[in-house]
Amino acid sequence: MNDPKKPILPGSTVKVKDPRSIYLGYRGFIQRISEDKAAVLFEGGNWDKLITIPIRDLEVV
> For the chain, which residues make up each domain, given as ranges?
13-60
pTM: 0.84
- Its CATH architecture, for the domain 13-60, is Roll (2.30)
Q: How far, in Å, CA of 8 to CA of 38, rounded?
A: 9
Residue 30 near residue 38, CB atoms below 8 Å:
yes
Per-residue pLDDT tens digits for 18-52: 999 999 999 999 999 999 999 999 998 888 999 99
Our measurement of the distance from residue 25's CA atom to the centroid of its chain's CA atoms, rounded to an integer in Å, reads 10
